[in-house]
């Protein structure tokens, strides 16, 4: 059974429908990528999983339970966490204070020291810079902090919205390395939205291509990389 599953989801904002019959599965321990052009509905898909859009029909199942009708904070409590686009951090707070602010679930708060240690292990640089004001971090460091803060709630599944957007090529590589490490060493399950299709497919286990709110192609990432339709559409290889 998939850890997270969307079943025939139709969703949008008020009257404005964005997602049409989206069905997708995320297996435990995998990196699943969603790729597609601007405006396809990638962010909306993540927001729908978190309960931040209007859901017209369909079902979302997490860990064997339907979460379709649950408020966002309950979904976070159950083990879902999202890193929104644009590496948002509390700019006037220190790195440490940002991390503590992310420990919003009961289990995270009870194990704050453990959780911090786990996060500092993945991001040793954040430990070094724990007293630095977040607004003075570089773009790459701020993105690492945004991911680290989402991890502070001790999620099973991390939803990442374009973590590499606007970063220098060298930093992009580092971000993808971290995402891989989260699966391989921190045992996280990841749903990754990215514009860097090639990098994403290289680290992903499975991928979906979303266009105009519909899934138009899906498959094992390694196989998709060789798919002629994908190569043509994204001119990536």
Ligand X SMILES: Nc1ncnc2c1ncn2[C@@H]1O[C@H](COP(=O)(O)OP(=O)(O)OP(=O)(O)O)[C@@H](O)[C@H]1O
Residues that bind Mg ion (CB under 5 A): 42-43
User: Using CA atoms, how far apart are residues 46 and 214, in angstroms rounded to an integer?
Assistant: 14
Q: In this structure, what token pair is assigned to residue 54?
A: 């209007």
**CB of 183 closer than 8 Å to CB of 33:** no
Comparison of 34 and 67: residue with beta carbon closer to Mg ion: 34
Give the 3-state secondary structure of residue 187: coil
Of 42-50, 116-124, 146-154, 200-208, the segment contacting ligand X by CB under 6 A is 42-50
Instruction: Give the one residue of 3, 4, 33, 43 binding ligand X; rule: CB under 6 A.
Output: 43
Q: Does 143 bind ligand X (CB under 6 A)?
A: no
Number of residues that bind ligand X (CB under 6 A): 11
CB neighbourhood size of 85 (10 A): 17
Q: Does 79 bind ligand X (CB under 6 A)?
A: no
Helix orientation angle between 95-102 and 112-122, rounded to the nearest 10 degrees: 120
Instruction: Give the one residue of 41, 51, 102, 140 binding ligand X; rule: CB under 6 A.
Output: 41
The option from Mg ion, ligand X, none interacting with 39 (CB < 5 to 8 A, set by class) reads ligand X
Q: Does 56 bind ligand X (CB under 6 A)?
A: no
In Å, how far from its chain's centre is CA 187? 14
Comparison of 43 and 98: residue with beta carbon closer to Mg ion: 43
Nearest distance, CB of residue 46 and Mg ion, angstroms: 8
Q: Does 140 bind ligand X (CB under 6 A)?
A: no
182, containing H or E segment: helix 169-184
Q: In this structure, what token pair is assigned to residue 207?
A: 């991928």
Q: How far is CA 91 from CA 103, 130, 135, 145, in A?
A: 17, 13, 4, 11
Instruction: Give the one residue of 11, 18, 89, 150 binding ligand X; rule: CB under 6 A.
Output: 18
Residues that bind ligand X (CB under 6 A): 13, 16, 18, 36, 38-44
């Amino acid at each position: 059974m998939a850890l997270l599953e969307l079943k025939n989801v139709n969703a949008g904002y008020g009257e404005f429908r964005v997602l049409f019959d989206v069905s997708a599965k995320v297996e435990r321990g995998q990196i699943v990528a969603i790729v597609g052009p601007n405006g396809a509905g990638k962010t909306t898909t993540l927001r729908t999983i978190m309960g931040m859009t209007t859901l017209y029909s369909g079902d979302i199942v997490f860990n064997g339970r339907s979460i379709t009708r649950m408020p966002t904070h309950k979904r976070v409590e159950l083990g879902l966490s999202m890193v929104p686009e644009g590496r948002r951090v509390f700019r006037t707070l220190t790195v440490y204070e940002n991390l503590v602010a992310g420990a919003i679930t009961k289990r995270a708060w009870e194990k704050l020291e453990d959780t911090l240690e786990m996060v500092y292990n993945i991001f040793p640089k954040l430990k070094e810079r724990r007293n630095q004001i977040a607004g003075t971090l570089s773009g790459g460091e701020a993105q690492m902090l945004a991911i680290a803060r989402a991890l502070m709630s001790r999620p099973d599944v991390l939803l990442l919205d374009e973590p590499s957007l606007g970063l220098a090529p060298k930093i992009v590589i580092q971000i993808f390395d971290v995402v891989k490490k989260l699966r391989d060493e921190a045992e996280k399950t990841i749903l990754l939205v990215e514009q860097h299709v090639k990098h994403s497919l290289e680290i992903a286990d499975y991928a979906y291509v979303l266009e105009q709110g519909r899934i138009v192609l899906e498959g094992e990432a390694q196989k998709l990389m060789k798919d002629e339709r994908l190569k043509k559409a994204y001119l990536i290889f």
